[in-house]
Amino acid sequence: MKASLGGFSFYQLFSEGEMDIFGYLETVKHRYRLEAVDLWNAFFTDRSVPVWKLASDDHLRKIKRSLDEKQLTVANLIVDRAHLWDPDPDVRAQLHRNALAHLHAAHLLGARTVRIDANRGPGEMTEEQFVYTVLRYREYAQIAADYGFTVGPENHTGVSLDPRWMKRIAEAVDHPGYGILLHIGRWNDTGEQGNRLVAPWVNHVHLDARTLASPGAEDAVKALADSGYEGYWAVEYNAPSDPYIEIEWALASMKRLLAAVNRTAGQKLEA
């Protein structure tokens, strides 16, 4: 089964200094017996600066060796603080350089997909922002395609929470190296309609505790499978307490959900 576990799920342990990148990889492989990870760049960046500074290539190669030793696939690289748009052009330039550095890191780490946000925080899309966003994603998509992966936004924050805008961007970028990380149940106000609007471009999927416990979860997964989605399904769940137990529940719930869709709809969701 193409199951993965997001590094952000261990935010509490990481922020308290109780887990590093290598402990995370050990946990995914040996505690949960998975074969894929969603790496979160906070585990290997300097977060003391507004635009997080990426670790050296040497450190990234150490991470890659650990991944290979455990036979772990990087289903997705989650990149924070390298989003495309900021009103300040100087900040935009810094973010762009950081995004390019992370695309290089994704290549070194062997990532299948990369998430780079469109913007952070609230905001309405201006024509200037739209044009800039399309051009940058097209540039990043070409780099990703050259390296053998795909890149794009998540319905995570700001304007990306509007699926109509996400669809418009995807149609304008129009590149095989572009894809959308769909976090099921995270749209502003469109419900499952948002999933259908972006389904043709989905390259990775996140599910959290709220989604997994909702009555519409099976329908959402089935709709994606029906649309032809064949990528990884990842738990991203920052449990407020007892993270190891809560994540074990979430992974089991996700696997149960995927198995149910397999049975009832005849979908092939296994690797």
pLDDT, tens digit, for every residue of 145-194? 999 999 999 999 989 999 999 999 999 999 999 999 999 999 987 667 89
Query: What is the chain's mean pLDDT, rounded?
Result: 94
The fold adopted by the segment(s) 3-265 is TIM Barrel (3.20.20)
Residue 193's identity, in one-letter code, is Q
**Is the per-residue pLDDT at 270 higher than 70?**
no
**Is the per-residue pLDDT at 271 higher than 50?**
no
Q: Which of 38, 150, 133 is nearest to 85 (CA)?
A: 133
**Is the per-residue pLDDT at 56 higher than 50?**
yes
CA distance 6 to 9: 6
CA angle 30, 116, 233 (to 5 degrees): 40
Q: pLDDT band for 266, please (50, 70, 90 cuts).
A: low
Question: How is the chain split into domains, by residue range?
Answer: 3-265
* Token digits of residue 99: 């995004």
Using one digit for the tens of pLDDT, what is the confidence trace for 103-138? 999 999 999 999 999 999 776 789 999 999 999 999
| The three-state (H, E, C) secondary structure of 191-239, written as one string | CHHHHHHHHHHEEEEEECHHHHCCCCHHHHHHHHHHCCCCCCEEECCCC
Whole-model pTM: value is 0.95
**Is the per-residue pLDDT at 92 higher than 90?**
yes
Q: pLDDT band for 265, please (50, 70, 90 cuts).
A: low
Using one digit for the tens of pLDDT, what is the confidence trace for 198-231? 999 999 999 999 999 998 899 999 999 999 999 9
* Token digits of residue 137: 């994603």
Using one digit for the tens of pLDDT, what is the confidence trace for 13-31? 999 999 999 999 999 999 9
Q: pLDDT band for 264, please (50, 70, 90 cuts).
A: confident
**H or E element in which residue 68 lies:** helix 57-69
Q: Which of 209, 225, 236 is nearest to 259 (CA)?
A: 225
